[in-house]
Amino acid sequence: MQTTICQLKTPTAQEVRHQSNNLSKSYTLLAPIYDLFVNRASKAMRAASLATLPARPGMVLLAGVGTGLDLPHLPAHHRYVGVDLTGAMLRRSLPRAGRLDFRPVQGDVHRLPFADASFDAVVAHLILAVVPQPALCLAEISRVLKPGGEALILDKFLRRNQKAPLRRLLNPLARRVATQLDVVFEDLLDASPGLALRDDSPVLAGGWFRRIRLVRR
Ligand X SMILES: C[S@@+](CC[C@H](N)C(=O)[O-])C[C@H]1O[C@@H](n2cnc3c(N)ncnc32)[C@H](O)[C@@H]1O
Among residue numbers 129 through 188, which ones bind ligand X (CB under 6 A)?
Answer: 130-131
Q: What letter does residue 72 receive in the DSSP assignment?
A: G
Query: Binding residues for ligand X, how many (CB under 6 A)?
Result: 21
Of 73-81, 127-135, 163-171, 206-214, the segment contacting ligand X by CB under 6 A is 127-135
| One residue of 50, 53, 61, 85 binding ligand X per CB under 6 A | 85
Q: Kind of pairing, strands 119-125 and 145-156?
A: parallel
> What's at 135, amino acid-wise?
A
Q: How many CA atoms lie within 13 A of 128 on its CB side?
A: 31
Indicate the residue whose CB is closest to ligand X. 66
* Other residues' Cβ atoms within 10 Å of the Cβ of residue 24: 16
From residue 39 to residue 58, the character string flagging contacts with ligand X as x (rule: CB under 6 A) and all else as - is --------------------
The answer to the question of residue 89 lying near ligand X (CB under 6 A) is yes
Contact residue for ligand X among 49, 86, 142, 192 (CB under 6 A):
86
CA contacts within 13 A on the Cβ side of 217: 8
Residue type present at position 125 = H
Smallest distance from ligand X to CB 140, Å: 10
- Using CB under 6 A, pick the residue from 78, 80, 102, 108 that binds ligand X: 108
Yes or no: say if 85 and 65 are a contact pair by the CB < 8 Å rule: no
| Non-local CB neighbours of 215 within 8 Å, separated by 6+ positions | 148, 149, 150, 151, 195, 196, 198
Contact flag: residue 203 with ligand X (CB under 6 A): no
- In sequence order, what are the beta bridge partners of 121? 60, 150
* Binding-site ranges for ligand X (CB under 6 A): 20, 23, 27, 38, 64-66, 69, 83-86, 89, 108-110, 125-127, 130-131
